[in-house]
Structure 1
Amino acid sequence: MKNIISKLFSIMLVSLALYSCSMDDTNTVLNPTATTELSASESELVLLKENEGSDALSLNWTKPDYGYNATPEYIVYFDIAGNYFKNAVKREVGDNLEYSLLTEQLNTILQTLEVEPETKTTLDVKVEGIIGTFEIAAVSNTNAIDVTGYANILDLSSDWGLVGSATVNGWDGPDMPFYKTSDQDIFAAYVTLMDGEIKIRQDNSWDVNYGDTGADGTLEPGGDNIIVTAGTYKVTFNYGTLTYSIEPYTWGLVGSATTNGWDGPDMPLSYDPTSDQWRAIVRLTEGEMKFRRNNDWSFNYGDTGADGSLDDGGDNILVEAGNYLVTLNLNDLNYSLEPIEKLWGLVGDATPNGWDGPDTVMNLNYAEEGVWYLNNVTLTNGAMKFRANNDWGINYGDDGADGTLEDGGANIAITAGNYNIVLNLSDTSNPKYSITKN
């Protein structure tokens, strides 16, 4: 009797388990008609640079009926109207049912889509709900928004440049550029030169060129070559008076937080013509730092009061260890240290330091968010990958050799040569790169 009861009890348990599984299967069948309704806080926007830091646009969407208690991930897509999201900018927003953009974030999307500043453009916006890795479980309506963006970068370019054996590209060019200054007809070039000769010319052409016959600082059309010694300089060209000057000129970071301590040489900053500021991506240790010119204490800036303003000879600036985008603004006499989570570089047997590193560090493109580059890098026969912070925890390769990167993907084959390399992470869900041989 006990055996019969025991068997009946076992059969009941099995039946209950099968019923539960059946219920689970029923409850996890995706509703194929699941949709979501997208709404936007604005239908027309004019973005202004002075409103950076303020909310510009809020998007909200309804919770779809997936047919069971799903936990989706949502992606918001932006594209120019009529492009059917073929080149959409994507923003992953997790399981939230809303997404807000600051003025500068929406303006960056316009720039990524190559929309001209000050031009009214209709953006199409939609939301997709994703379950698992690939399955699109719900798609919203498309919402059209008229947006006018602004120029986020300065255009200080000019048609004047330096050419010659002392320049990086020699007598054939392209020339090292002069930039506009706040004074009309006065241009400045920030250059590193070799021992050799230079001239000033227009439009990378010999039709209009100036030299200095007599080496007296006065320019003559077609004049003599200007002799220079190796160094880093600010070259000032006054087109109005046809005069010029060449002076040693660098800005850098010095201090216990920097690579070479208080004795230097300083960690160099580079001139950024898109903002008329001096910038660098650096790794600092815990300690102190200051800004100084020409690796010399005769002209240095600190920050008395720790308020972000520069003071001539001011107090040392306290720094925590980390990666930073350092910006020195000599126009307004202020500075910033913006933490950078990832420093991207090249690693591999095609790179100078091989697979063990340290990696060949890339430069941040200040005009395009999420874009890193490296120009005139010499690589050997072999392979390379992109990785962050000299660590294999985050690295990209290219499984299909198609210019699209995959996390942990295949090594990228390289033949020996000199290259310009771009790493484009502006769309984090679709990272890309280009390698152009010079």
Structure 2
Amino acid sequence: MKKYINKLLVICTLLILSASCENDAILTTLKEVSFSGPIEASPNTVVLSTDNENESVVTISWPAVVYPVNAPVSYAIQFDVASDTIGATAWEKSVRVEAGEEVLSKSFLGTDLNKMAIKLGLPVDVAGKMVVRVESTLDRKIYSKAIALTVTPFAKQVVFGQIYMPGSYQDWDINTAAALDAVSSGIYQGYVTFPETKGLGFKFNTERNWAQFYGADANGNLMDHSDTDFQIAAPGSYQMTVNLNTLKWTAVAFSWGVVGDATDGGWDNSTNMSYDHQLKIWKFKGALKVGNVKFRLNNAWTINYGPKNNDEGKVYLDNPGAHYISEAGTYEIIFSIQEKDPTTGIYPATAIYTVKKI
């Protein structure tokens, strides 16, 4: 009997050792992984201006990181200033840009690099130092050594002026037509909602009269005093951009929406709000259930706002809070937000709203 007990102990020991070896095979975090070489910035000195804001001005490249796991590796790039990369809060204030899976370089337009430089506090029209590192992610995060990038940012000139957009959406009344504000020399931008109950035609006027206006040419571009209306593709809310330098226009679907378990779309699908171009506010009117609502842009969580409580009437960027609807019924919700900063491209920290049962 003792002989069989000893054999059983040997078998158990072998099984335990075997299991231990199998577990070691998947404990990849015990194996050292690193960037095989330095990352590079080409060029490493960039002077930014309006001349190159829409051009690729710098490319960050890096060697592949080989993990002991056969799966796609994700990369991201972090930009910061040297003083914020030391201590307990190192890199917490960095600007992080996703690069993608299995890519080894990313290029940046002048306008994007300029926004990052100003956000990080580099003075305009002065050469300043940024530091850059690459983040690699699979079963853990690995960081490259940081490199220096010299950047001279610039301040975009503030421009003023408006053009106007009469159309079927507001019964062609030039006095109440949406105003598109100048965002650059000869370029105008604004928001318009085309209701399902109205037509889709419109024109552009340089004044609140019909002395001068633009209609469509044979290709849909701007033509002085053309009787042919421009046409939007479908009802909805849009960000309209008009370039009087090139005589072209674009319409991009754009809408703030309410989202939450108090809405029909729940937490997965926003209910679009409509834009009041005269009051410059976004509105929702409809049925809500008992539950929560908050606000997000273009049916995505990238830009979202939530309140800290039901009483303040203020919402905060990326705040996890929501407004609680305690009684089901028909409600009107109004959301008012300032434009994002034209220099940094960042949305404001707060916005205001009201919720009213009707």
- Check 1:435–1:404 CA distance in 2 against 1; reply closer, same or farther (3 A cut): closer
**More deviation in 45-54 or 317-326?**
317-326
CA distance in 1: counterparts of 2:276 and 2:121, whole angstroms: 23
- The answer for the alignment partner of 1:343 in structure 2 is 255
Q: Is the 8 A contact 2:166 2:177 kept in 1?
A: yes
CA distance in 2: counterparts of 1:334 and 1:63, whole angstroms: 45
CA distance in 1: counterparts of 2:150 and 2:271, whole angstroms: 48
- The answer for the alignment partner of 1:433 in structure 2 is 349
Q: Is the 8 A contact 1:398 1:411 kept in 2?
A: yes
Q: Is the 8 A contact 1:252 1:266 kept in 2?
A: no
CA apart distance, 1:396? 3.7
CA distance in 2: counterparts of 1:44 and 1:282, whole angstroms: 41
Q: Report whether the alignment pairs 1:303 with 2:302.
A: no
CA apart distance, 1:74? 1.7
CA distance in 2: counterparts of 1:81 and 1:280, whole angstroms: 38
Q: Is the 8 A contact 1:254 1:266 kept in 2?
A: no
Q: CA RMSD in A?
A: 4.9
- The answer for the alignment partner of 1:59 in structure 2 is 60
* Structure 1 letter corresponding to 2:255: L
- Check 1:431–1:30 CA distance in 2 against 1; reply closer, same or farther (3 A cut): farther
1:17-416 aligned within 5 A: 23=22, 26-27=25-26, 29-30=28-29, 33-36=32-35, 37-84=38-85, 85-95=91-101, 96-131=103-138, 135-136=140-141, 138-152=142-156, 154-155=157-158, 251-255=164-168, 259-260=169-170, 267-272=177-182, 275=185, 277-284=187-194, 287-292=200-205, 297-306=210-219, 308-313=221-226, 315-321=228-234, 323-329=237-243, 332=245, 334-340=247-253, 342-345=254-257, 359=273, 361=275, 385-389=294-298, 396=304, 398=306, 403=316, 405=318, 409-412=320-323
- Check 1:362–1:312 CA distance in 2 against 1; reply closer, same or farther (3 A cut): closer
Identity of aligned residues (%): 21
**1:58 match: secondary structure:** strand
Q: Is the 8 A contact 1:39 1:59 kept in 2?
A: yes
- Check 1:435–1:52 CA distance in 2 against 1; reply closer, same or farther (3 A cut): closer
CA apart distance, 1:128? 1.0
Q: Is the 8 A contact 1:423 1:434 kept in 2?
A: no
CA apart distance, 1:20? 10
CA distance in 2: counterparts of 1:65 and 1:34, whole angstroms: 7
Q: Is the 8 A contact 2:61 2:104 kept in 1?
A: yes
- List runs of 5+ in structure 2 lacking aligned partners: 1-14, 86-90, 261-266, 284-290, 310-314, 326-333, 354-358
Q: Is the 8 A contact 2:48 2:114 kept in 1?
A: yes
* Structure 2 letter corresponding to 1:29: T
CA distance in 2: counterparts of 1:357 and 1:27, whole angstroms: 45
CA distance in 2: counterparts of 1:432 and 1:76, whole angstroms: 24
* Structure 1 letter corresponding to 2:294: K
* Structure 2 letter corresponding to 1:100: S
- The answer for the alignment partner of 1:233 in structure 2 is none
Q: Is the 8 A contact 2:78 2:95 kept in 1?
A: yes
Aligned residues: 298
- Check 1:338–1:30 CA distance in 2 against 1; reply closer, same or farther (3 A cut): farther
Q: Is the 8 A contact 2:44 2:58 kept in 1?
A: no
CA apart distance, 1:293? 5.6
CA apart distance, 1:304? 2.1
Q: Which has the higher contact order (CA 8 A, sep 6+)?
A: 2
* Structure 1 letter corresponding to 2:111: E
CA apart distance, 1:91? 0.6
**1:27-54 deviation line (CA, Å, top 9, x unaligned):** 4513553222322211111123222332
- The answer for the alignment partner of 2:10 in structure 1 is none
- Check 1:317–1:410 CA distance in 2 against 1; reply closer, same or farther (3 A cut): same
**1:181-200 deviation line (CA, Å, top 9, x unaligned):** xxxxxxx8x8xxxxxxxxxx
- List runs of 5+ in structure 1 lacking aligned partners: 1-14, 157-178, 180-187, 191-249, 349-354, 364-373
- Check 1:300–1:343 CA distance in 2 against 1; reply closer, same or farther (3 A cut): same
